[in-house]
Amino acid sequence: GEMRDMTLLFCDIRGFTTISEVFKTNPQGLTNLINKFLTPMTNLILDRRGTIDKYMGDCIMAFWNAPIDDDEHALHAADAALCIFEELPKLNERLEAEAKADDRVHHPINVGVGLNSGDCVVGNMGSEQRFDYSVLGDAVNLAARLEGQSKNYGANIVIGEQTYLKIPSYASIEMDLIAVKGKTEAVRIYGLLGRADTKDGEVFKKLHASNTALLEAYRGQDWIKSEGLVAECRANAEPFPDKLDVLYDLYAERIEDYKIEPPPEDWDGVFVATSK
């Protein structure tokens, strides 16, 4: 194996158990559905120089900058992540038509994506009997954790700080400073909302400004100011397809709690996550 600076992507179907239940008596139907999801999403990743590491049921794990050198690995991974959400409505349209034809309930597919960049070991790993070309490292584990947090924060795509720093031309907002389960030091997490055209637009600039002000007031323990900014952020987030209401509900709830029981004066603003 060799050490490389890479970007990792995890993409997982949300509410997969509910979808599986529709196919309880038709396992072949469930397999077909998964394949119809994995095929177009895989093509999007491969077309943007990504490598598929593995499929884990309804989850795709992919990476960039190995085996092919890619100096813009974070950008290509971010582009692929955004493309997944552009492809999803088309896929759901096709699946709905098939469900109607088969006279069964259609549950639209929703996904969460986690992206993270960092040094990883990449190479052929496994046993003497079987091995795969794969990646290992802290950055990989964090990418998986970020995907798990996408639901809790209402963002379609959650990215780590190292990815964020590599794609300054893309539109992202900081969401939290969080100690993810299984890690002691805090990481800054961001929601990726769009490409350069989004970032240059007035709609994003307004959200970015109010969101930055909210985090500043919240970390400075100015609860009254924070409350007003939560409302402002909600209004500014409306044009985005992400469910950012979830993010601002989260802050509203924390602010309520902190008004009653404030954190210590030297509080660093870190939220300790209890779920993966």
Distance of CA 27 to the CA centre of its chain: 29
Asked if 19 contacts 105 with a C-beta cutoff of 8 angstroms, the reply is no
- By C-alpha distance, which of 165, 183, 186 is closest to 268? 186
> What's residue 207's pLDDT?
98
Q: Is the pLDDT of residue 273 over 90?
A: no
- By C-alpha distance, which of 36, 6, 15 is closest to 150? 15
* pLDDT band, very low/low/confident/very high, at 183 (cuts 50, 70, 90): confident
> What's residue 274's pLDDT?
78
Stretch 145-163: mean pLDDT, rounded? 96
> What's residue 43's pLDDT?
98
- By C-alpha distance, which of 208, 250, 243, 213 is closest to 229? 213
> What's residue 181's pLDDT?
75
d(CA 182, CA 151): 18
> What's residue 12's pLDDT?
96
Q: Is the pLDDT of residue 166 over 90?
A: yes
Asked if 59 contacts 12 with a C-beta cutoff of 8 angstroms, the reply is yes
Q: Provide the whole-model pTM.
A: 0.96
pLDDT tens for 21-69 read 989 999 999 999 999 999 999 999 999 999 999 999 999 999 999 999 9
Domain boundaries, the chain: 2-160
Collect all residues with Cβ–Cβ distance below 8 Å to 217 and sequence separation of at least 6.
225, 226, 229
Helix 223-237 vs helix 202-219: angle between axes, to the nearest 10 degrees?
160
pLDDT tens for 1-11 read 899 999 999 99
- By C-alpha distance, which of 151, 145, 137, 183 is closest to 160? 145
- Provide the percentage of residues in the chain whose pLDDT is more than 90: 92
Q: How far is CA 150 from CA 6, 54, 97, 191, in A?
A: 21, 20, 28, 9
* pLDDT band, very low/low/confident/very high, at 114 (cuts 50, 70, 90): very high
Asked if 273 contacts 178 with a C-beta cutoff of 8 angstroms, the reply is yes
> What's residue 180's pLDDT?
80
Q: Which CATH superfamily, name and number, covers 2-160? A: Nucleotide cyclase, GGDEF domain (3.30.70.1230)
Asked if 138 contacts 162 with a C-beta cutoff of 8 angstroms, the reply is no
Stretch 259-266: mean pLDDT, rounded? 94
pLDDT tens for 227-241 read 999 999 999 999 999
Integer-rounded Cα radius of gyration of the chain: 20
Q: Is the pLDDT of residue 182 over 80?
A: no
Helix 73-101 vs helix 27-47: angle between axes, to the nearest 10 degrees?
150
User: Side chain identity at 80, as an amino acid letter?
Assistant: A
Q: Is the pLDDT of residue 176 over 80?
A: yes
> What's residue 199's pLDDT?
98
- By C-alpha distance, which of 170, 174, 176, 178 is closest to 196? 170
Collect all residues with Cβ–Cβ distance below 8 Å to 221 and sequence separation of at least 6.
258, 262, 263, 267
* Chain mean pLDDT for the chain: 95
Q: Is the pLDDT of residue 184 over 80?
A: no
> What's residue 165's pLDDT?
98
Stretch 157-180: mean pLDDT, rounded? 97
- Provide the percentage of residues in the chain whose pLDDT is more than 70: 100
Asked if 42 contacts 83 with a C-beta cutoff of 8 angstroms, the reply is no
> What's residue 6's pLDDT?
98
- Helix, strand, coil % (nearest 5) of the chain? 50, 25, 25
pLDDT tens for 208-232 read 999 999 999 999 999 999 999 999 9
d(CA 178, CA 274): 10
> What's residue 212's pLDDT?
98
Collect all residues with Cβ–Cβ distance below 8 Å to 12 and sequence separation of at least 6.
58, 59, 60, 111, 112, 113, 147, 148
> What's residue 172's pLDDT?
98
